Chains A and B, each alone.
Chain A
């Protein structure tokens, strides 16, 4: 009887994995695209796109710098696409 909760928990975990596994990549890519879009909003002023919330997003720039670097690498750009802004 004591082993039943353990087996039940394992069964639930397997069921969750069965649900998640086929589309894990697609969901993670969709989330990554949303996060990339937010990151681009944060850096939009550097690209010449006015950002009405720049006073607030300015303090997020150091936090998202790694993400910016990761993004331009994934886009196939060896270095930052912005001449006046270098991350690597």
Chain B
């Protein structure tokens, strides 16, 4: 199938690096940063067990399933293996998931810029550095190593400038609160970034992101080993805030990436499978990719539980469900890095904020671009020519995300983190659907399907339970007209429908295999 455009075999170490950096966003930071409100032990166990028996199986399985089906994406496989209707509904879930990812990351970055104004200049400098690297590599054919070294040095050096000149927007500009202004700027950027030639911004930015990821992980784990911080958070939090939801089932949707995430299946079957050198590389790339994600989630747990001076200081961070997140990661992580590496707390906080913002930003760029493709595809399928225009499709994608960000959080965009559990639910339902598709393919081949069925049943039950719990809390929050409520309802109905169709396909294939075996 090699065509040197989409299908080109790639070295498995390079492909692993690419897969890992593509799936590693801000989710393995934000999710654990929120979930430790229940105590560090449940989050720790879920990340470890989830990475080994859920995420690893899911990611590896998605890549395998795609490779076995001429590198088709999971959405297409849903149409082949289940029914064509399942594929359409699957794509709706994917679009809604991307909408949520973009909205919640936009809010998270906005919150990060407000909490750490010294991160604004370094974070936007990364865009400038990316463009310069893109021009040097693509247009001027400069060898990669020196632009990489110089660009990385500039990125870290600019943190000093960021500290000297912290930038904050003025409340009331255009009649908007600061949070809303940042969200609009970020989506304007994401829309423009998704339309520019990939070599100019997305490609070098993804590359810088990858470098940051490895440097950041090395720095954090190195600092943890040197500083040897003490965990001050309780193992199980007996003093939960009054409005905090129950750990079961919300833990399993609050920590998605880092334990299991349907988003990874999209990446694995969308691009990774097309570049696999041989089928046996699927385990190396898929399983180890999820392991890297688990490592990032684990260090986020450490930062959010061991980076505070005392239990009281930790409890001040976690006064309500939804608190913590990226801010806890930055605050706690900064004190650990400062103690371990010997840099100032402020510098470390800016460094970690820039790192987290870059992760979230590149996911937003890619997410808006993917949404544009889906809108254009719908324009093609349903004969709506205007939707096939790149600018219109991008506008539709960005508008949908803004509607969600402001619809959930109000005019200020604050409280947009309310989307997070719903994002986790949708993500986990998508993971369950992917595992179901893999199970159908396995049973068709007469292979044991229990290794995918057991995680599928667990995560689907937890995600549906979480979705039903959220239905009640969203209704109490905003009544019948609350947009998130209806998104939740739609996701639950679609997920149940596709699961029933997939279950029926599973039984059908099982009976067919048994009939062939007995013939």
Contact = CB atoms under 8 A, between A and B. Distances in A.
A30 interface: yes
Contacts of B143: 12, 16
Contacts, number: 60
Interface in A13-29: 14-19, 21-29
A22 B271 contact: yes
Interface residues of B, number: 30
A17 B10 contact: yes
B8 interface: yes
Given A12-B145, A26-B198, A30-B198, A19 B137 contact: yes
B10 A21 contact: yes
B199 A22 contact: no
Contacts of B197: 30
Tell me whether chain A's interface is mostly helix, strand or loop, or mixed.
helix
Interface string B1-30: 000111010110111011000100000000
A21 B144 contact: no
Contacts of A26: 198, 203
Given A23-B203, A25-B5, A28-B4, A14 B14 contact: yes
Interface residues of A, number: 18
B207 interface: yes
Given A12-B145, A15-B148, A22 B6 contact: no
B146 to A, nearest CB: 10
B72 interface: no
Contact of B13 (A12, A14, A32): A14
Nearest to A14: B14
B199 A12 contact: no
A18 B5 contact: no
A18 B197 CA distance: 19
B202 A17 contact: no
A71 B15 CA distance: 30
Contacts of B199: 23, 27, 30
Contacts of A25: 5-6, 8, 271, 274
Nearest to A25: B6
Given A12-B145, A15-B148, A30-B198, A24 B8 contact: yes
Nearest to B7: A25
A27 B206 CA distance: 14
A19 B144 contact: yes
A25 B271 CA distance: 9
A24 B8 CA distance: 9
Given A23-B198, A27-B198, A30-B199, 17 more contacts: A12-B144, A12-B145, A14-B11, A17-B10, A19-B144, A19-B204, A21-B10, A21-B275, A22-B22, A22-B203, A23-B202, A24-B5, A24-B8, A26-B203, A27-B203, A28-B4, A32-B5
14 contacts: A12-B145, A14-B11, A15-B145, A15-B148, A16-B143, A18-B18, A18-B207, A19-B203, A22-B22, A23-B206, A25-B5, A26-B198, A27-B198, A30-B198
Q: Which 4 residue pairs are nearest across A and B when measured between Cβ atoms?
A: A28-B5, A25-B6, A23-B203, A17-B14
